[in-house]
A and B are shown apart, each in its own frame.
Chain A
C-alpha cells in the first residue's frame, strides 16, 4: 500500500462545488421552464440583476421579468428550501437513531405535522390561507404535531426493549403514521367544507408559492440548518454508540433530543409549506453517503445542496410532464424515488462485494 497521508473524512471541495452547481442548474432550469419557456441565458442575467449593483440587459419583456421574479423564482426558491430541509432532516434522523431507514415520513413525523395542520385549518386558523399564502399559525401547529409524532414513535419503538432493532422503530413509525392519517381522514369527513383547502395544501403547496411562503419558511430553515450542521461531528461520535459517546465526553441523550427537535422543526416547516412530499429524506442522504462519504460532515451539508436541487428539478418535471396540468410533486418524488431507491440498493450491494 502506498503510504499516502491519511486525512480525516471531510467535505472535499469538488463535492461542495458540485453541490452548488446542482443548485444553480436547478435554479436556472426551474425559472426558465414552464408554460412559457424562457431562454436560460436571459433568465440567468435576470437572476444576476437581483443582486445589488448588477445591471445586465437580459432582453426579457416586462411581463417575462414579472413571471421570473414574482411567479417562478419564489416557487423554485421554496422548492430548494423544502428539499434541503427534508434531506437534512432525513440525514439527521438516520444519524440520531443510528438507523438507515429513518426518514421524516417513515418515522411518522410528517403525518403528525399533517394531522396538526389539518386540525389548525379545520379550527379556522387557515381561513383564507389558499389566497393570502401560508398563515403563521400553520408552521407552529406542524411543529407541535411533528414533535408529538416523533416522541410517540420513539416511545413505541423503545417499548420493544433495550436492544431494539432498526425495524422496530420503523414499524412504530408506520403505526404512528397510520394513527395520524386516520385522525386526519376522520376530521376531513366531519368537516367536509375544508376538504378542498386541506387537499390543495396536501398535494403540494409549491404550486401556490409566493414570496410570502419563502419568508415564512426561511427562519425555520436557518435555525434547523445551523443547529444540525453545528452538530455534524457529534453525530459521527454518536454513530459509535451511546456508551462510547458518553465515555468520549459527550451527553448523548442531550445531543439526541436537541437534534431530534431541530430535525422535526425542519420537517414541520417543510410540511407546512409544501404538504406531504416523500422519499427526499431517504434518497438524497443515502446517495450522498454512497458517492461522497459516510461522515455526517459530508452527508449533512451535501444533502442540503443536493436535496434542494433534487426537489426544485422534480418540481420542473411535475409542472411540465403533463402540461398544462400539474402533477402533485409528492407523486413525482414517489415515482422517481421508488426505482431510484432500488438502484441505490443494488449499487450498494455491488460496491460492498
Chain B
C-alpha cells in the first residue's frame, strides 16, 4: 500500500536485527535546565512501547528527540542508522510523528491534509504524482475515511480528526509511529476506538509504535512494554504489570492508587487518602 516503504538497512557492525529505536545516554537541556538526564531506550521492530511519567518528566522531549525534532547529546538510532546521519526527507520516510494537538489549518480539506504526508516523496519545488494521490486514497479507504476527503478538517469531531492525523502519518509510509498523547482530547469510547485502530494498523503494516500517555490503565492495556520516566531518567521499564505497581506509582507520581490485575494489563484505580 505504501510505496516508498524501504526495508531498513542494518547498521554495519551490529549483530542481529537492528532495533527500531535505540537511545543511549540521551541528554537534553532546554533553557539551561536538564530535561533528559541520560535516558536509555530500545524499541524492537513491531513493538508498542508507551512512555508514562508525571507532568514535566520529559516524555514529549524524548519523543521529539526520537523524531529528530530536537538535538541532544547521546545516541539516537532508527533501524540501526544514527538519526544525525539521516537527511530530513529520508528521516521523514522512516519515522512519522503525530503531535499532541496538531494545528488544524482553516479551510484545509481532509484529502489535502493527508496528502501533506506525501511531502517527503514530492520533489522540493514540485508537485504530487499519481502514485501519491493513489496512496492517499488507499489510506483514507483503509481508515474508513473515504467519504471524508472533501470535508473540511476543522469541521470534524475529535475522534474523526485523530483518525485523519493517523492517516497523514500512514501516508508518510514510515514504519515507526510516534504518538504524543494520542487520546488526551478524546472521551473514553473514542480513546478505545483510536487505540484499537493503532493496534490494528500496527499488525497490518508491521509498524513500530512509541507513544506517550497519561491514562495508566489504558497505557498498560495496549503497550507491550511501559517506560516510566521521572525527572528526566528512566525509573522503571518492562511489561505493564512490572511498571504499574502501587509502590512505583506512589514514589514517582505521589499518587495513592490501588492496582488490580486485569486480563490485558493492570487497572490503576485512584483512591482518596482520607
Residues of A within 8 A of B (CB): 1, 3-4, 6-9, 98, 100, 230-231, 233-234, 236-237, 239-241, 243-244, 246-251, 289, 293-295
Contact = CB atoms under 8 A, between A and B. Distances in A.
Contacts of A98: 103, 105
Contacts of A247: 67-69, 92, 95-97
B92 A8 contact: no
B105 A244 contact: no
Contacts of A8: 111-112, 115, 128, 133
Contacts of A237: 116, 119
Contacts of B119: 237, 248-250
B9 interface: no
B6 interface: no
B108 to A, nearest CB: 6
Contacts of B191: none
B150 interface: yes
Interface of B: 64, 67-69, 88-93, 95-97, 99, 102-103, 105-109, 111-113, 115-117, 119-120, 122, 124-125, 127-128, 133, 137, 146-147, 149-150, 172
A138 B135 CA distance: 51
A248 B117 contact: yes
A83 B20 CA distance: 53
A174 B146 CA distance: 45
Contacts of B133: 8
Contact of A295 (B97, B108, B125): B108
A98 B106 CA distance: 10
B268 to A, nearest CB: 30
Nearest to B107: A294
A251 B64 CA distance: 15
Contacts of B111: 6-8
Nearest to B87: A249
B109 to A, nearest CB: 6
23 contacts: A3-B146, A4-B150, A6-B111, A6-B137, A6-B149, A8-B115, A8-B128, A9-B109, A98-B103, A100-B106, A231-B125, A236-B105, A236-B108, A236-B112, A240-B103, A246-B68, A246-B69, A247-B67, A249-B89, A249-B92, A250-B88, A294-B106, A295-B108
Given A249-B91, A295-B112, A239 B105 contact: yes
A251 B88 contact: yes
Nearest to B117: A248
Contact of B103 (A1, A7, A244, A249): A244
Nearest to A4: B150
Contacts of B64: 243
Contacts of B97: 243-244, 247
A346 to B, nearest CB: 17
A248 B106 CA distance: 20
Contacts of B102: 240-241, 244
B69 A289 contact: no
A230 B115 CA distance: 18
Contacts of A236: 105, 108, 112, 116
A294 B105 contact: yes
A156 to B, nearest CB: 20
